[in-house]
Structure 1
Amino acid sequence: MRRPFLAFGREGLSYSPSPRQYATMPLSPDRTAAIARLTLAPLYLLAGIVHLLRPDIFAPLMPPGIPQPHAVILLTGIAEIAGASALFVPRLRAFAGVMLALYALCVYPLNIQHAVRDLSTGTGLGLAYHYIPVSSRSP
């Protein structure tokens, strides 16, 4: 006889189904949200860190009409890091989700421009890089 899997949850230490059984259970809204947070937060955090440490990578992508492009790049990095961090603070979670969604909507045209430039010239990053940012957001 297999022993139940021991888990630590909101209610404290409890028994739950085995990891294999748990993996096949239907997703609850709480579990779906947790998976989304654990997937998106590290991506936004990494993007924010890269914006702060290597703004020179993003400078050529900035449209010519943007004033203070270097400052905008740094601010977007700060916004990504703040949003990723706030996803793990329950009181800020909903606000962070809305702000990150609005942020993604704002940078969507730049993602399209970046993809078109890279894919049409054969230089830069390929389809594997651009497919997710371009296909996963809808304006």
Structure 2
Amino acid sequence: MSPSLFLHCMEYLSRILCILTSSQDFNFHPKCSQLKISHVIFVDDLMLFSMGDLVSIQTILKFLKDFRMTSGLSINVAKSNIFLAGVTGLDKETILGLVGYLVGQFPVKYLSISLARMRVSIAQYSPLLEKIEKFTNKWKTKCISYAGD
């Protein structure tokens, strides 16, 4: 798949996930509800956030199935993890049976940042900030033209 076509598919996925949030069956993760954050996509990485209730998980899976049927793209189960907080017993087993993902363990690295159950400190952001700084410093060596020049 061409990078441009992939980008359009990810834009479509993002839009249908935004529609997902208006479903009566979807409940936001408590830390994401105020800003109505349901997902983060960076290149080919996708993180989904929701309440850990069975109905929300089933709703997400329905939307992902619709995306797969439309685009031909699907989540790679072998490379995916699910993180469940406050979900125990039968609910946890039911959800794990539905999704087929391995249970992830904290801390986990994402974009060079170690994600943990507690708040991330500024020091933990430093590897990402250094990468961004190196990337933007390359711009200084190139001639940047302004529109109209």
Q: Select the structure with the greater relative contact order (CA < 8 A; seq sep ≥ 6).
A: 1
Bigger proportion of residues as strand = 2
Bigger proportion of residues as helix = 1
- From the CA coordinates, give the structure whose radius of gyration is larger: 1
TM superposition score normalised by structure 2: 0.31
TM superposition score normalised by structure 1: 0.32
